[in-house]
Amino acid sequence: MQDRNCKTNPSPALQRSAWINDIGIPTLNDHGAGGNNVGCAFIPQNSDPLNVTRSTARTGYYDPVATRTNLHLLVKHYVSKIQFNGTTAVGVNIVDRADNSIASVAANQEVILAAGALQTPRILQLSGVGPSGVLNNLGIPVVAALPGVGANYQDHPWVLTGFVC
């Protein structure tokens, strides 16, 4: 899907294909549940440090603050771009996954971006924050030239070897 405000926003399918083709390692779409467990899979593992139970975004972040009157949970949407007034973030564009419509949400005080290690720099760069050479080559107007955005990502590989006993 294309963000109407940025001509260079590649589709999720294209981005996924680039990861798979560039790395050259088989990717497991079903985490090995289909009987083929050779390849890479993204399997997040989170545990509550107090009771050692599986932690999710809901139990770890939403449930503790769910009663706040200034919190609104919007499901089946994603942020496509941060809106700026000069270099001040004033809101975000959100895309409805159901119909690909784009809406703008203005901030009353501040914009906090917490989209994870991969999506945070992606959203920042699509919004004009990042290495100016990269942004200029993609035709994205530079809001803030910050060469570290999207750089120095370091994965923490985890190798699991399974065998039948």
Place of tokens 């895309």: 95
Show the domain range for 66: 47-73
Residues 107, 135, single domain; the answer is yes
| Position 2 confidence tier, pLDDT thresholds 50, 70, 90 | very low
The answer to the question of residue 160 being in a domain is no
* Residue 86 confidence (pLDDT) above 80: yes
| Position 57 confidence tier, pLDDT thresholds 50, 70, 90 | confident
Residues 18, 92, single domain; the answer is yes
Q: Which segment of 33-47, 62-76, 80-94, 123-137 scores lowest on mean pLDDT? A: 33-47
Tell me the residue type at 46: N
The answer to the question of residue 151 being in a domain is no
| Position 1 confidence tier, pLDDT thresholds 50, 70, 90 | very low
In this structure, the chain runs to a length of 165
Residues 17, 89, single domain; the answer is yes
Residues 69, 84, single domain; the answer is no
Residues 23, 98, single domain; the answer is yes
Task: Give the mean pLDDT of 70-84.
Answer: 92
> What's the structural domain count of the chain?
2
Tell me the residue type at 7: K
The answer to the question of residue 107 being in a domain is yes
Percent of the residues in the chain that have a pLDDT greater than 90, as a whole number:
46
Residues 68, 90, single domain; the answer is no
Boundary of a domain, candidates 25, 55, 73: 73
The answer to the question of residue 56 being in a domain is yes
Cβ-contact 93, 81 below 8 angstroms: yes
Residues 65, 127, single domain; the answer is no
Strand partners, 54: 47
* Residue 156 confidence (pLDDT) above 80: no
Place of tokens 């399974």: 162
* CB-count exposure of residue 71 (10 Å: 0-12, 13-18, 19+): exposed
The answer to the question of residue 4 being in a domain is no
Domain at 78, CATH number: 3.50.50.60
Residues 95, 114, single domain; the answer is yes
Residues 84, 118, single domain; the answer is yes
Higher model confidence: residue 30 or residue 5? 30
CA distances from 55 to 45, 61, 63, 146, 159 (A): 8, 9, 11, 33, 21
Task: Give the mean pLDDT of 126-132.
Answer: 96
* Residue 89 confidence (pLDDT) above 80: yes
Residues 60, 79, single domain; the answer is no
Residues 67, 105, single domain; the answer is no
pTM of the prediction? 0.61
Residues 125, 64, single domain; the answer is no
